[in-house]
Amino acid sequence: MKTQDIMARLQAKYPGEKEYLQAVQEVLESVEEVYNQHPEFEKAKIVERMVEPDRIFTFRVTWVDDQGEVQTNTGYRIQFNSAIGPYKGGLRFHRMVNPSMLKFLGFEQTFKNALTTLPMGGAKGGSDFDPKGKTDAEIMRFCQAFMLELWQCIGPDQDIPAGDVGVGGREIGFLYGMYKKLAREYNTGVLTGKGSTWGGSILRPEATGFGALYFTQNLLHHAGKDIQGCKVAVSGFGNVAWGACIKALELGAKVVAISGPDGVCAIPDGITKEMIDYMLVMRASNRDRVEDMATRFPDKAQFTAGKKAWSVPCDIALPCAFQNELSEDDAKELKANGCWCCCEVSNMGCQPGAIHYFQHNGVLFAPGKAVNAGGVATSGLEMTQNAEHISWSGKEVDEKLHFIMKSIHEQCVKFGTQPDGSVDYVKGANIAGFMKVAQAMLEQGTI
């Protein structure tokens, strides 16, 4: 297999699918050498099959807004790969959602899920619906209209959606309510991220952020460092950033920045518990403005419009917002301001130039598919609890999450350790995930 040849074919076939092509290129570059040592993969055309989704559902979603006006959006579910388990992955509601974005996310999800040690295939879905400025009633009507189509494609042993950007506990509640009505079954295993009184796992809302910090701890420990007292810059203020801030604080780090599409809030003395709680209010307001934090806590947070979290000096950068949110110039600014570690929490949060810069300038870097896998891993734990009709305590879930993040770190070290002893976490995560999926596809024949 030659990455260049495959990429040329994909570029010709899917011109303009920028994010999808970027995600495929990164994985293929990482695995090319190992792949070519396995002629049986080449013979079965594993790579050619793996880069194409199994199937894509596209549907129209029509709903009525509070003014009584009819609105139309597009809904998608991309079932990417089911070699190691049923399709699993979140739903994203964001105005920029398109097939390229969901194909990149579904592709990444396949390897991420393989890293979790749990039996889950990869999928992603969502809509170009923009939650910004919508009322709760509008969100409910949209979720119901979306599920009216989606329910035919999903099932607890078939495809299990969850949240992602723009989809949290509130949306999962509305989606599940409509699913239940249509399916006429109380099938909690069909969605994850549910409320804890009706089948949701304790710690699922916190899990992506908590898992990211557990991974960071493992990485720092491996590098002979400690998170205690470190200054951390976090981008975003949604569910993932919220969980990351809670755990960073608990581990003795100081969160000195959070950000939003409108700018950054610098927090020189570190974020407090009260401020972290306020992040939930900001998310529920659908205003999508981080400035609200500085308005609410004027003595603690200073807002600067148009700036990113990466402009605030820190030791550790945690991108927690959106793909490609950290550019090469941001990476240079971070390094110049003293940053020595970047753990990508958002999916593909760093642009290729930024990753290259980190890796060649002594900044420890780990990719999203390893760092943020605690979210989907805890979804997997939620599925197990649903299948057994039980619920575990927070302590039990947290112990399992700890174990999973440690094991993901070990897989990265196993496949990513370089001759000089350093660890290439991008390579490690990609090879570990890829080998597992490739082997399963090979054993299941040409399908």
Q: Which is nearer to ligand GLU, 102 or 258 (by Cβ)? A: 102
β-pair partners for 316 = 232, 341
* Least separation in angstroms between CB 198 and ligand GLU: 17
Distances (CA, A) of 356 to 77, 162, 332, 352, 419: 32, 32, 11, 6, 18
- Give me the residues paired with residue 446 across strands: none
Q: Which is nearer to ligand GLU, 175 or 334 (CB)?
A: 175
Helices (H), 223-290: 239-250, 273-284
Candidate ranges 95-103, 291-299, 332-340, 372-380; the one touching ligand GLU (CB under 6 A): 372-380
Distance CA 237, CA 243 (A): 10
CB of 167 to ligand GLU, least distance (A): 8
Q: Which stretch binds ligand GLU (CB under 6 A): 25-33, 280-288, 334-342, 371-379?
A: 371-379
Q: Least Å distance between CB 204 and ligand GLU?
A: 8
**Residue 347 interacts with ligand GLU (CB under 6 A)?**
yes
Strand segments (E) across 17-162? 55-64, 70-81, 87-93, 122-127, 159-162
Query: To the nearest whole angstrom, how small is the minimum distance from the Cβ of residue 13 to ligand GLU?
Result: 25
The answer to whether 89 contacts ligand GLU (rule: CB under 6 A) is: yes
Q: Name the minimum Å distance from CB 442 to ligand GLU.
A: 25
CA distance linking residue 290 with residue 202, whole number of Å: 27
User: Is 231:256 a contact under the CB 8 Å cutoff?
Assistant: yes
Considering the rule CB under 6 A, would residue 192 count as an interface residue with ligand GLU?
A: yes
- Asked if 241 is part of the footprint of ligand GLU (rule: CB under 6 A), the reply reads no
Q: CB of 404: closest distance to ligand GLU in angstroms?
A: 13
Among 75, 86, 90, 260, indicate the residue that binds ligand GLU (CB under 6 A): 90
What's the CA gap between 384 and 116, in Å, rounded?
A: 14
Q: Classify the C-alpha dihedral 362-363-364-368 as positive or negative.
A: negative
Does residue 433 belong to the site contacting ligand GLU (CB under 6 A)?
A: no
Catalytic residues: 124
Using the minimum distance from each CB to ligand GLU, give the nearer residue, 254 or 409. Answer: 409
Closest-CB residue for ligand GLU?
A: 90
Give the residue with the Cβ less far from ligand GLU, 248 or 370.
370
Asked whether position 211 contacts ligand GLU by CB under 6 A, the answer is no
> By CB under 6 A, which span of 86-94, 277-285, 305-313, 325-333 interacts with ligand GLU?
86-94
88 is a contact residue toward ligand GLU (CB under 6 A): yes
When the beta carbons of 263 and 368 are compared against ligand GLU, the nearer one is: 368
Residues 6+ apart with CB under 8 A from 190: 154, 155, 156, 160, 176, 179, 183
For position 288 contacting ligand GLU by CB under 6 A, the verdict is no
Among 85-93, 141-149, 250-258, 325-333, which window interacts with ligand GLU (CB under 6 A)?
85-93
For residue 362, the minimal CB distance to ligand GLU (Å) is 29
Q: Rounded to whole angstroms, what are the CA distances from 334 to 84, 168, 201, 278?
A: 38, 30, 36, 27
Question: Which residue in 386, 389, 396 sits closest to 176, CA to CA?
Answer: 386
Span from 2-10, 181-189, 214-222, 369-377 in contact with ligand GLU (CB under 6 A): 369-377
Closest CB 30 distance from ligand GLU, rounded Å: 19
Applying CB under 6 A, among 127, 379, 385, 411 the residue interacting with ligand GLU is 379
Return the structure tokens found at 82. Answer: 């089911």
DSSP 334-372: HHHTT--EEE--STT-B-HHHHHHHHHTT-EEE-HHHHT
Pick between residue 85 and residue 89 the one whose CB is nearest to ligand GLU: 89
Cα–Cα distance, 217 to 413 (Å, whole number): 14
Closest CA to 81 of 121, 27, 139, 124: 121
Task: Report the distance separating Cα 32 and Cα 1, nearest Å.
Answer: 7
Residue 319 interacts with ligand GLU (CB under 6 A)? no
| Interface contacts to ligand GLU, rule CB under 6 A | 88-90, 162, 164, 192, 347, 372, 375-376, 379
